[in-house]
Amino acid sequence: MNSKYSENGIILSEEQSLQLDKLAGYMIEYNRNVNLTRITEPDEIVEKHYIDSILPLTMMNVPHGTKVIDVGAGAGFPSLPMKIYRQDLDFTLLDSSNKRITYLESACGILGITYETVHARGEELGRDPKYREKYGLAVARAVAALNVLCEYCLPFVEVGGYFAALKGEKDEAAEAGNAIKKLGGETEEIKKYTLPGGDKRSLVIIKKISPTPAQYPRVSAKIAKKPL
């Protein structure tokens, strides 16, 4: 397994490899009772969850100790593999599902890693002064369109920080341009890469250049009905 990581420029210690193996075993077991993921074959977990989650950290300059929020953390991707790879990062895991938060808390306990977990809706937490514009990096690996994701994620990012969207092959940056600008962001770079099995990926790196206007994020119904 380790050779697959190193072939993609990811160097892991023995302890990190063991933690990732432990996470896979726990996730597969937990998944029998709570639906977390369709990907349960070990090779697929390594490629489509672990390598896919960690690679963005090899493509960006993320300073030591950066505060990171994973918006819509789900089963813990990309945040759990990112934390194992970069234990210096200070993560907050946000999800609207209490079942997923319960899983994430138990997984963190098994792995012996420290996180803040928050059970809340992103559009509500993004207005909370305790969380709004408090993070150097927001990450999301989600199926929502980029213009929608931006409204959920950019309010958390401090000016000078970044939102990194882990996306598929399709280039969504142009159609999300209006949303990015309105929310105080600017597209800095789009990195294209391919997973070992051939799946195409894009990493959209958006820099926060000005504060997000107070009216954003809107309620989820408005975000869905009329994306920026």
Domains and CATH numbers, the chain: 2-225 (3.40.50.150)
* Residue 1 pLDDT: 52
Q: What is the pLDDT of residues 20-53, one digit of tens each?
A: 999 999 999 998 888 888 887 888 889 989 999 9
Reported confidence tier of residue 226, pLDDT bands at 50, 70, 90: very high
Q: What angle do CA 161, 5, 55 make, to 5 degrees?
A: 20
Residue 201 has φ and ψ, to the nearest 5°, of -135, 155
**Can you give the pLDDT at residue 183?**
98
Q: In Å, how far are 34, 78, 99, 135, 201 from 161, measured between CA atoms?
A: 35, 18, 30, 7, 22
Residue 96 and residue 122 in contact, taking contact as beta carbons nearer than 8 Å: yes
Q: Would you give the distance in Å from CA 39 to the centre of its chain?
A: 17
Helices 98-111 and 14-31: angle between axes, nearest 10 degrees? 150
Q: What is the mean pLDDT of residues 57-65?
A: 95
CB 76 within 8 A of CB 107: yes
Tens-place pLDDT, residues 72-130: 999 999 999 999 999 999 999 999 999 999 999 999 999 999 899 999 999 999 999 99
pLDDT band, very low/low/confident/very high, at 144 (cuts 50, 70, 90): confident
